Amino acid sequence: MIAPFRLPVERFVVRSPKHKFFAIAIVGVSALTLNTASARLPKRVPGPDQIQAEILNVRSNRGTVYCSIYRAPGDGFPIVPRKALRFARSKIAYNRARCNFDDLPPGVYAVGMMHDENDNRKFDTNWMGMPTEGYGVSRDAARKFTTPRFADAAFSYGGGTVRIAIHVHY
């Protein structure tokens, strides 16, 4: 018959205050090490299926770039953001930004973006309704005097990581 394995408990008993101090110190350092190691891990690892929208020609590094992705025509593209499939935002560096959309199934999509220079979370327009902040759509299908159509901005996505470029219009 095989005897069960037992830990010699008497070895782990803290016998003096000096040993107790070192035991607490070792446990504390171990916990701190585990805590900082987990803090260095990325919060969210992007999946293999991702659309990366590279935003180019941003006028200034002030403000934030907001992006939305739409899947079907007639879903308010790009005017009604609450009907978008997903949202992303990005800070601007060197007059560029990137919006990532993770874990999307294959399909036909269109991306719309705006550069909110004054960070008021609104798409500002002048008294005539013309945009005073930057905007753009996928396939650079922006129109001068009317809203871009989904059909003009749509692109086919078959999975994997795909990068698209959007040039900002002011």
- Residues 49-93 have pLDDT tens digits of 999 999 999 999 999 999 999 998 877 888 888 889 999 999 999
Q: Is the pTM of this model over 0.75?
A: no
> What is the domain count for the chain?
2
β-pair partners for 69: 86, 111
The pLDDT of residue 73:
82
Structural domain includes residue 1: no
β-pair partners for 112: 68, 137
* Same domain assignment for residues 63 and 126: yes
* Same domain assignment for residues 30 and 60: no
Distance CA 81, CA 134 (A): 16
Distance CA 84, CA 106 (A): 16
Q: Give the Cβ contact number of residue 108 at 10 Å.
A: 14
- Residues 87-113 have pLDDT tens digits of 999 999 999 999 999 999 999 999 999
Structural domain includes residue 45: no
| pLDDT of 26 higher than 90 | no
